[in-house]
Structure 1
Amino acid sequence: MSEEANASTESAEATAAAATEGADANVTDAAATADAAAEQEAAEGKDAEKAGDAEAGEEAFSLAAPEGAEAFQADFDAFAGDMDAWLKANPNATAREALTEAAMRQARVAGDAQKQMLEQRNAQLDAWAGDLRKDAEFGGEKYDANVATAVKGLEAVGSPELRKMLDETGLGSHPDVVRAFWKVGQMVADTAVVTGQTGTSTRRSFADALYGNGNGKD
């Protein structure tokens, strides 16, 4: 083989070796890039997992009903849930701001409860008055006269403390209470125990006749 042929062969071999080395380098670089991408993805996944664990680990705001008030635990849970949502929405709130928000929420809850109780009380008083008006023995055309007799019965045997209790509880309009004082009034109608007031009342309910100033129903 001539020297030129040998030189040509050596040149071809060198070129092939260089190409092989370049291909190996490209493969190595590609593998390194893939490994780096995988490591970065794994790191991001761990960071996300840690963030999720930290968020899940945050203890929600809760309130336990005190001893003796366990029946109202649902109300405590509802209030705590509302405050928990507010605290998460206002993470930078100061203690004073949180206390102010809690106080305002409690005031609204108390106001709504009081309004509801008043509405229920008035509805009950109206229902009792309706029952008395429809009562075959007490109501109908005899209603006003019978109310006046019941008031006389209370005046005969009742005390200021009793009137106050009937006023505060609304029991002054309860049909059984009205009938009880009505029977007493019938028994004392013609005796000196009666106050001497004459005539009959045309008030709408026994509570109105009993208290005179409308306090039987707020």
Structure 2
Amino acid sequence: ELAPLGLNEYQITKVINANQNIINHTREAFIDQARKDPEIGGSRFETTIKHAKVAYDKYASPALQEVLQGTGLSSHPEVIRMFANLGKAVSEDTGIPAQALTSGAGVDLKDESTQLNVLYGNN
């Protein structure tokens, strides 16, 4: 609350606008850093953002999203990297292909050795 500081409405509005400008400039700087990052940026940037969005939408609660977006931290390269890595991991975790379960007609999937074979192959 800025009113107890003796600021009038005009001054409060100026402080709020200045704060928002700082957040916007910080966000732009973060995005620029992320675009230049050797791991997540450059030609990988769009893919990075796609992976990050998957995890962000799935795992970031509305309260966390509000904090990240309100502070500009949603654009920080390390936050993008974290969500991108999580999104990539979730995308790669495809489980057992359906054809692996149905390809062995007459195979007893209740047998533990068969289950291990389906999961890990004959190795």
CA RMSD of aligned residues (A): 2.1
Q: Map of 1:1-150 to 2, 5 A cutoff?
A: 106-150=8-52
Aligned length: 91
Check conservation: 1:156, 1:188, Cα contact below 8 A.
Answer: no
Give TM-score, length-normalised by structure 1: 0.38
CA–CA separation in structure 2 for the residues paired with 1:116 and 1:155: 30
Match of 1:155 in 2: 57
Give TM-score, length-normalised by structure 2: 0.65
CA–CA separation in structure 2 for the residues paired with 1:129 and 1:166: 14
Shift of 1:158: 2.3
Shift of 1:150: 0.9
> Could you list the runs of 5+ residues in structure 1 that have no partner in the other structure?
1-75, 80-104, 193-218
Q: 1:170 aligns with which of 72, 93, 96?
A: 72
Partner SS for 2:38: coil
Shift of 1:182: 0.9
Higher relative contact order (Cα pairs below 8 Å, separated by 6+ residues): 2
Aligned AA (1:149): H
* 4+ residue segments displaced more than 3 Å: none
| Percent pairwise identity | 27
> Could you list the runs of 5+ residues in structure 2 that have no partner in the other structure?
95-123
Aligned AA (2:73): L
Please list the CA deviations of residues 102-126 of structure 1 after superposition, one character each: whole Å capped at 9, or x if unmatched.
xxx7111111111111111110000
